[in-house]
Structure 1
Amino acid sequence: MFDVVNELVQNSGILSMTYKELIMIIISLIFLYLAVRKGYEPYLLIPIAFGILLVNLPLAGLVDPPANGENGGLLYYLYQGVDLGIYPPLIFLCLGASTDFGPLLANPKTLLLGGAAQFGIFSAFFLAIVAGMSPEEAASIGIIGGADGPTAIYLSSQLADHILPAIALAAYSYMALVPIIQPPLMRLFTNEKERKVKMEQLRTVSKKEKVLFPIVTTLFVTLIIPSATTLVGMLMLGNIIRESGQVPKLTETLQNSFMYIVTILLGVSVGSKATGDTFLTWSTLIITVLGLAAFAVGTISGLLLGKVMYKLTNGQINPLIGAAGVSAVPMASRVVQKEGVKYNPSNYLLMHAMSPNVAGVVGSAVTAGVLLSFFG
């Protein structure tokens, strides 16, 4: 009997567990707590955290590749959707079906605010180069500044797969922390008079404009930056499905069930790469710090351009909407709305902020295409 128990213990994962695996399991439990208890990006953080938990359980073999005629582990096959660049474009397809570009079409000059927020990406890129990162790693780190998780995952999977878990967790962590990070920056870089500005109601955008926008955008981006076509093309495909009004069931599916299915697969797959050997490194700390810098610079750049537009329009633009130039849709817009109401209770900035917000989504995808064309 003792021999049977001894053999069972010897073949279990308990004695095989390393200290790094134990640390990663603890980290996964912390992430699960933040997602379940605190509500930090639960739709993605829960599958990511559980993926981390599964991959660090010794002897489970969930990420083992096929060998000697045997099939590989489940997570090995699921990860192919990340490795082959399938999941992020599908997320963009769903985002397109959920996005209303009407505010951007109604006030196209605010497109510049979405562009300004991309400065965070390039600032982090150069800081990462200075920190000793390779150009591919620097590009992957910089894209965190766009506050766009799928874009960060897509670019990292193509350029620097080995730092993907740290990139993904940093990107989604800062997206979840938008309500904490952005308000102090808003108050620091704008004055009370600017924050009180009440913007005029947006004009009504016709259905024809909304249908033509994804078509024209796809043609323009494809011809100028072909490497951005995958993300932008899928985003615009989802959008024209929405705006056509002819396939409501398909639109509903993309906005809900299909989005959640892909999110689960993406999250678990990303988490499955966070082993102790790859995650518990100095580079992870550097990525976390530079990602925060990228996000902060992106927010500040949007606010500063907002101040310029405030001056040029004789006070018709509220600079706060510049903070929504990052791609965290619609959270950044909600933060702008909440902050604006504090200083002017009659202010309704949500739809105005959605314009640079959705522009930021397109901008980060285009920027990812540019970086991919240089370093891919």
Structure 2
Amino acid sequence: MLAFDDVLAARDRVAETARHTPLDYSHTFSSMTGADVHLKLELFQRTGSFKIRGATNRIATLSEGEREAGVVTASAGNHAQGVALAATRIGVDSTIVMPERAPVSKVQATESYGGNVVLHGRDYDAAAQKAHEIERESGRTYVHAFDDEMVMAGQGTIGLEIYEDLPGVDTVVVPIGGGGLISGIATALKGQDDDVRVIGVQADGASSVAESLKKGHRIERDSVQTIADGIATRTIGDRTFEVIEERVDEVVTVTDPEIAVALTTLLERSKTLAEGAGAVPLAALLEGKFDYEDDETIVPTLCGGNIDLNTLTNVIMRGLVETGRYCKIRTVLEDRPGSLEELVEVLSAAQVNVYGIEHDRTSRDIAMNDAEVELDLETRGPDHVAELLDRLEDAGFEVEVLV
């Protein structure tokens, strides 16, 4: 099993490539939660993710023959960039298999770091099968995204930094996809202070760990569905499961709407952009997914910031919906002059801003002398939405809330 000494050895190997990322006290999230919250800003790491640490440590341990043959790996995006950059820095050829729906930004970034990208399959697991085929056919060394002690040890250097910068830390919250990050961090922290609590967080739509822990063996989901693509794996590794069982104190899950709220809150209040997987630890804290004491020192590990701009747009809108900052309604008006003005007057009185209006007289679900209207509205929170709906009802409008 991964040992503390492995993490210590990894620190020297990754020092020239990986940055010591900031640990930033957050007044905002401390006030919101009652805890003493410090954000580990690993999203400021080279390539925008922690993955460069594990990839660098693994590739640094290759033999001369393995370096000449090159490496191959599978990744949803962040590990791809880490392997490509780490390999290019020491002159090793790399082939990276990514899911067909991998974010365009991550594909382009991987290619810019010198990786040869192959798109294959619907998710990480399908891409991994293809990568192993290439491994067998070409003789390349497979650099696993998480189930490798040297990769885990490299990721564990984050734990060394957290403890060095904040020796009084009580709880560290870490996302779980395949388990490499939390295995390394838990090993690093427990190796220095066994009382430090390590909380793992998965997305509901990719939650294999909690059930695996209950059953005492790894289980595999048939599919995964989450906006946190960086942790969208059907199962965890054999080696990582062993470490998680022994060194992780608790595993919780968060929903996609909760991730969206955390991401948009982080962006708006801390001016910090995280990807879905990076926002997962903060989501668990904000939603009270685990117990903690007042003023407990908690470090959410924001592990990456590589989010596709199209995805970001959707996530921000979902975050606004969940916090009552945006809503979409439908109503039916009598098709006569002035009826739309009457509706708009109610909206104006409620101080609601109108993003857009769609007016449809042709719907088969309404009478011939009616018109269906859909409105996109900017609101100020759940109470404001409730007030608006009450005003519309009092004015005689039958309203359906669409989002």
**Does TM, normalized by the shorter one, top 0.5?**
no
Normalising by structure 2, we get a TM-score of 0.26
Which protein, 1 or 2, shows the higher relative CO under an 8 Å CA cutoff with sep ≥ 6? 1
Normalising by structure 1, we get a TM-score of 0.27
Q: Rg: which structure is higher?
A: 2
Q: Whose strand fraction is larger, Structure 1's or Structure 2's?
A: 2
